[in-house]
Amino acid sequence: MNTIVKKESGIEVSGNAGFVGEYLLYLLASASDVASAAFHAQVRARGLRVPEWRILACLIDTDGQMVTELAQLSLFEQSRLTKIVDQMAIKGLVKRRSDDRDRRRVRVHLTPEGRRLGEELVEAARRHERTIVEQMRPGEAALLKQALKRIHALCEGAAPAGATEPGEPTS
């Protein structure tokens, strides 16, 4: 019998795992889940929920994003993002402001406390990523990131389905 067992140390596949054990999207989601677990515990220990962390991280990169842009980047539906931003505003982490050029548009900005916490967590996330990358073979992380960016582009329609990068085999 083929079994897939999710463990703290990853996925254990015994025998031929069948569809799920070889399904790319399952493997991506499962790897993300297990790789993120320890860092997400750090986020929660700081009094944040993981969705709040994701929003802070997006705003650290580009503060003052419009709600629609922030929803897309943080991977939330706009209605859910609005509720999370409301809760973050109550905690004093973000503020909403009208856009200077179009008062109908709302932008989300970090407060000084939100910036401090966000910068600390970004550093913690970088350290956590390094602990994972250091266990990989040289160049493996860079190749994985490149492949994931390629999958994203293909699925977003940025690259035709059969397109190859220069130097890639076409078969």
- Bigger pLDDT: 10 or 152? 152
- As to burial, measured by CB atoms within 10 angstroms (0-12 exposed, 13-18 middle, 19+ buried), residue 110 is buried
Q: Establish if 145 belongs to a structural domain.
A: yes
Q: Establish if 125 belongs to a structural domain.
A: yes
pLDDT, tens digit (0-9, with 9 covering 90-100), for 69-79 = 999 999 999 99
The pLDDT value recorded for residue 136 is 96
Q: Establish if 71 belongs to a structural domain.
A: yes
The pLDDT value recorded for residue 77 is 96
- Where b means 16+ CB within 10 Å and e means fewer, 53-83 reads bbbbbbbbeeeebebeebbebbebeeeebbe
The residue-averaged pLDDT of 8-16 equals 55
My answer on whether 37 and 60 are in the same domain is no
Residue 94 to residue 101: CA distance in whole angstroms: 20
- Give the distance, in angstroms, between the CA of residue 109 and the centroid of all CA atoms in the same chain: 20
Q: Establish if 165 belongs to a structural domain.
A: no
My answer on whether 28 and 90 are in the same domain is no
**How many domains does one find in the chain?**
2
pLDDT above 80: residue 161: no
Q: What is the pTM of this model?
A: 0.80
**Does an H or E element contain 65, and which?**
strand 65-66
pLDDT, tens digit (0-9, with 9 covering 90-100), for 116-134 = 999 999 999 999 999 999 9
Q: Establish if 166 belongs to a structural domain.
A: no
Which residues have C-beta within 8 Å of that of residue 146, sequence separation ≥ 6? none
The residue-averaged pLDDT of 7-29 equals 73
Whether residue 40 contacts residue 50, with contact meaning beta carbons closer than 8 Å, is answered with yes
Residue at token pair 């492949």: 147
My answer on whether 75 and 115 are in the same domain is yes
Range of the domain at 81: 49-152
My answer on whether 24 and 99 are in the same domain is no
My answer on whether 74 and 35 are in the same domain is no
Residue 10 binned pLDDT confidence (cut-offs 50, 70, 90): low
Grouping H, G, I as helix, E, B as strand and the rest as coil, residue 46 is coil
Around Cβ 154, how many Cβ atoms within 10 Å?
14
My answer on whether 81 and 109 are in the same domain is yes
My answer on whether 15 and 35 are in the same domain is yes
The CATH number of residue 82's host domain is 1.10.10.10
